[in-house]
């Protein structure tokens, strides 16, 4: 028995020796707690014992030893271990440690229940490892990952600063401020370092986790930084600076508002990091720690430099976008008409909902016969390329409209033109990004005729107008949308012809979502009757104010038009016999009508010559029935209609020819002329200026 007990005694001795070594030499903090969670014994490596005698901890409740800031209630967690026997393993807690100044440290806590051989619960053994540096490194990595994920999601230099401060506060700093060179905000190239002390900077973002943290200057304030300060120094050599803040810090005297804000926030540590890219200064980031937060160290400085580098790239990308958008918007502004074509029978106004997409366009075009074409469209893509393509398509529409084509036929030809432009893109150099960008566009072309009170229209894409009639009805005509311009689809375009009586309101928009909103029964056009006499610009404003927030992230080009009846005393029409005698009848009726309109003698004489030639041409080469129509509008229009399909053309008659000069003479006397085909037949028209005449010599 003595022989067998001897090894057991050695085991007990070794166990006691090991326990003593753990409490006196182990680098891991050890705590022995009784069943009331009071400290029975601690070892010298216990993190919270720094500067505290062991006797001061013995007998104290664990809640008095560990002032847990984050990670859970230690007493609750340990009591659960005591009652259940389930160990607590590697629980990370942030604890405030006493000292001058007090610090917050991270401990990895594990706890095991202690039992006697008879299974009696004796207490809890707790280990504590200081993992502050590990957690700080992990937190730095998380901050850097978060900045890379969340900063730069927009292409706005000011918003980029807001994204940065929202990410780093409170994860990395208690207060964060971003100030950007004002010229960079506008899209200009950033100045080279060293930055002149007179360069204005805009404060784009501010964020604080402190309840009492007034700003020295409000967000949006543009000012020159006082010098010399760490901020101006950082913008001189583009190097970050970690600064300890004290009441007697010399440079604070040159910037009293900032000094007061720092004092009020109890900030003790400052990290100034320049926003720099390729030796150019874009701005500066100021990071503060206050209160019980630890001061910035070298690792923090390195992390801040990485954050600033990423932010500077994002700000520069936003700057480049701003510059390109500014150029594209300028191009768009010069390509689009400033004012709509005015007409007594069709009031029109232009409206741009957001102004964010230079590929959207609107236009109104004066056509023959007192008619007006209304055009809205939108080119795919963005930036300067979209603006340039928009200008090409708008020019093509204006050129095609001069041929008096029906809306569906005009879009068919425009579709062919867009296809040619798309083909040109496909032959660009392989490195050109425009080669990979498809060219497509939506477009609606409508023609309003005040003499008939109707509006014919066709669409490429899913565009449709909103029509508000005087009887309070709001509708979207169900015209089938044709293929988008520039696509390979060759389906024909379909046109619809609508009745738009006096007082109707038509809204053409390049954004289908906006059209759907306007057409809604509870939408801004639901009270359309009040718009019958309301100034059109007020109507446009009312539409914008009534739109729901967030609608139309891109630009919406809009035309708002209100129809009026054409004055009955400003046009006249007569049927004519298909007989040479009809020429004299037409001249006489023209003379009488022009006298009634008080048209000057020279214009009246030229008009009678034009009518003679046009009627003669219709009698000889056209088919009955024939009609003569005069319109006294922005110009004096003469129209001769017949049922023949033969297209007239101007030719120069020879010296001995007896005929062939009719249309040539009419073209010389008129300001403009053309042929408009209808079902059935055609109309030959001329226009003369009422403010001056063109003599027969051209």
The predicted-structure confidence for 206-234, as pLDDT tens digits, reads as follows 999 887 777 888 898 999 988 889 999 99
DSSP string, 62-78: HHHH-EEEES--HHHHH
β-pair partners for 61: 38
β pairing state of 636-642 and 682-688? antiparallel
Strongest mean pLDDT among 96-110, 313-327, 487-501, 574-588: 574-588
Owner of token pair 């032959």: 427
Same domain, 512 and 584: no
Choose the weakest-confidence range: 237-251, 340-354, 500-514, 606-620.
340-354
Question: Which comes out higher in pLDDT, residue 491 or 639?
Answer: 639
Q: Quick one: pLDDT at residue 585?
A: 93
Same domain, 395 and 528: yes
DSSP string, 610-625: HHHHHHHHHHHHS-S-
Question: Is residue 690 pLDDT above 90, yes or no?
Answer: no
Q: What would the pLDDT profile of 113-158 be if each residue is shown by its tens digit?
A: 888 888 888 888 888 888 888 878 888 888 888 888 888 888 888 8
Question: Which comes out higher in pLDDT, residue 315 or 429?
Answer: 315
Structure tokens, 290: 């206050």
Asked if the structure places residue 693 within a domain, the reply is: no
Enclosing domain of residue 59: 19-130
**Helix axis angle, 582-596 relative to 601-621, nearest 10°?**
150
Asked if the structure places residue 330 within a domain, the reply is: no
Question: Which comes out higher in pLDDT, residue 186 or 98?
Answer: 186
Same domain, 678 and 578: yes
Same domain, 551 and 590: no
Same domain, 106 and 237: no
Peptide bond into 620 cis (omega under 30): no
Q: Quick one: pLDDT at residue 555?
A: 65
Question: Is residue 51 pLDDT above 60, yes or no?
Answer: no
Same domain, 388 and 412: yes
**Cα 56 to Cα 42: distance, rounded to the nearest angstrom:** 11
Q: Quick one: pLDDT at residue 528?
A: 52
SS3 203: strand
Peptide bond into 46 cis (omega under 30): no
The CA-CA-CA angle for residues 635, 637, 640, to 5°, reads 170
**Cα 397 to Cα 375: distance, rounded to the nearest angstrom:** 8
- The enclosing domain of 628 has a CATH number of 3.30.565.10
Domain end: 515, 542, 563, which one? 563
Q: Quick one: pLDDT at residue 306?
A: 92
**Cα 35 to Cα 121: distance, rounded to the nearest angstrom:** 7
Choose the weakest-confidence range: 63-77, 243-257, 276-290, 520-534.
520-534
Q: Quick one: pLDDT at residue 309?
A: 92
**Cα 45 to Cα 59: distance, rounded to the nearest angstrom:** 18
Domain end: 563, 596, 611, which one? 563
Question: Which comes out higher in pLDDT, residue 409 or 99?
Answer: 409
Domain end: 526, 542, 563, which one? 563
Same domain, 204 and 246: yes
Q: Quick one: pLDDT at residue 529?
A: 52
Q: Of 539, 529, 626, nearest to 576 (Cα)? A: 626
Peptide bond into 238 cis (omega under 30): no
Q: Quick one: pLDDT at residue 7?
A: 52
- The enclosing domain of 221 has a CATH number of 3.30.450.40
Same domain, 373 and 461: yes
Question: Is residue 421 pLDDT above 60, yes or no?
Answer: yes
Same domain, 242 and 357: no
Same domain, 558 and 582: no
**Cα 408 to Cα 446: distance, rounded to the nearest angstrom:** 9
Same domain, 387 and 316: no
* Under 8 Å between Cβ of 535 and 348: no
Asked if the structure places residue 2 within a domain, the reply is: no
Question: Is residue 616 pLDDT above 50, yes or no?
Answer: yes
Same domain, 606 and 553: no
Local confidence band at 445 (pLDDT 50, 70, 90 cut-offs): very high
Asked if the structure places residue 7 within a domain, the reply is: no
Q: Mean pLDDT score of the chain, rounded to an integer?
A: 82
Asked if the structure places residue 8 within a domain, the reply is: no
Q: Of 55, 78, 81, nearest to 66 (Cα)? A: 78
**Cα 662 to Cα 669: distance, rounded to the nearest angstrom:** 11
**Cα 160 to Cα 576: distance, rounded to the nearest angstrom:** 73
Asked if the structure places residue 551 within a domain, the reply is: yes
- Number of folded domains that form the chain: 4
């Amino acid at each position: 028995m003595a022989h067998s007990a001897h090894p057991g005694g050695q085991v007990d001795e070794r166990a006691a020796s090991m326990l003593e070594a753990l409490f006196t030499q182990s680098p891991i903090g050890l705590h022995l707690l009784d069943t009331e969670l009071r400290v029975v014994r601690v070892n010298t490596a216990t993190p919270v014992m720094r500067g505290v005698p062991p006797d001061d901890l013995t007998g104290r409740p664990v809640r008095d030893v560990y002032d847990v800031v984050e990670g859970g209630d230690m007493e609750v967690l340990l009591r659960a271990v005591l009652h259940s026997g389930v160990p607590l393993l590697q629980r990370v807690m942030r604890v405030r440690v006493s000292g001058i100044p007090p610090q917050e440290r991270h401990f990895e806590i594990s706890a095991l229940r202690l039992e006697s051989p008879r299974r009696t619960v004796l207490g809890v053994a707790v280990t504590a490892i200081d993992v502050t540096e590990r957690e700080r490194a992990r937190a730095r990595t998380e901050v850097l990952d978060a900045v890379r994920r969340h900063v730069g999601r927009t292409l706005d230099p000011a918003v980029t600063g807001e994204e940065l401060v929202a990410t780093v506060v409170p994860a990395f700093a208690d207060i964060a401020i971003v100030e950007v060179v004002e010229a960079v905000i506008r899209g200009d190239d950033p100045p080279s370092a060293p930055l002149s002390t007179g360069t204005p900077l805009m404060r784009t973002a501010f964020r604080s986790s402190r309840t009492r943290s007034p700003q020295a200057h409000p967000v949006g304030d543009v000012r020159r930084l006082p010098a010399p300060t760490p901020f101006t120094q950082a913008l001189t050599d583009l190097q970050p600076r970690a600064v300890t803040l004290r009441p007697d810090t010399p440079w604070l005297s040159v910037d009293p508002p900032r000094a007061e804000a720092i004092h009020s926030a109890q900030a003790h540590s400052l990290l100034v990091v320049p926003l720099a890219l390729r030796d150019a200064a874009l701005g500066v980031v100021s990071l503060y720690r206050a209160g019980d937060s630890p001061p910035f160290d070298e690792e923090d400085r390195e992390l801040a430099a990485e954050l600033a580098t990423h932010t500077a790239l994002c700000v520069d990308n936003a700057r480049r976008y701003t510059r390109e958008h500014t150029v594209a918007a300028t191009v768009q502004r010069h390509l689009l008409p400033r004012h709509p074509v005015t007409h007594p029978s069709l009031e029109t106004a232009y409206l741009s909902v957001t102004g964010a997409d230079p590929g959207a366009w609107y236009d109104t075009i004066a056509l023959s016969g007192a008619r007006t074409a209304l055009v809205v469209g939108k080119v795919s893509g963005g930036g300067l390329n979209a603006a340039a393509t928009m200008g090409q398509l708008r020019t093509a529409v204006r050129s095609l409209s001069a041929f008096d084509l029906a809306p569906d036929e005009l879009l068919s030809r425009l579709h062919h033109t867009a296809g040619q432009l798309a083909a040109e893109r496909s032959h660009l150099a392989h490195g050109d990004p425009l080669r990979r960008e498809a060219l497509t566009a939506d477009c609606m072309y409508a023609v309003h005729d005040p003499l008939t009170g109707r509006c014919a229209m066709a669409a490429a894409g899913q565009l449709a107008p909103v029509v508000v009639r005087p009887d309070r009805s709001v509708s979207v005509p169900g015209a089938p949308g044709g293929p988008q311009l520039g696509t390979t689809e060759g389906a024909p375009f379909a046109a619809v012809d609508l009745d738009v009586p006096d007082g109707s309101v038509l809204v053409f928009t390049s954004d289908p979502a906006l059209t759907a909103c306007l057409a809604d029964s509870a939408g801004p056009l639901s009270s359309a009757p009040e718009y019958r006499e309301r100034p059109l610009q007020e109507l446009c404003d009312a539409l914008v104010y009534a739109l729901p927030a967030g609608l139309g992230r891109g630009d919406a080009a809009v035309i708002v038009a209100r129809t009026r009846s054409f004055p009955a005393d400003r046009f006249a029409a007569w049927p004519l016999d298909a007989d040479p005698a009809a020429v004299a009848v037409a001249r006489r009726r023209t003379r009488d009508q022009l006298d009634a309109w008080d048209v000057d003698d020279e214009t009246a004489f030229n008009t009678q010559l034009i009518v003679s030639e046009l009627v003669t041409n219709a009698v000889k080469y056209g088919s009955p029935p024939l009609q003569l129509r005069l319109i006294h509008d922005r110009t004096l229009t003469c129209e001769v209609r017949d049922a023949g399909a033969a297209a007239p053309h101007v030719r120069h008659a020879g010296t001995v020819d007896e005929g062939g000069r009719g249309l040539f003479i009419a073209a010389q006397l008129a300001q403009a002329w053309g042929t408009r085909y209808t079902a059935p037949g055609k109309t030959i028209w001329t226009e003369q200026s009422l403010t001056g005449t063109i003599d027969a010599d051209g």
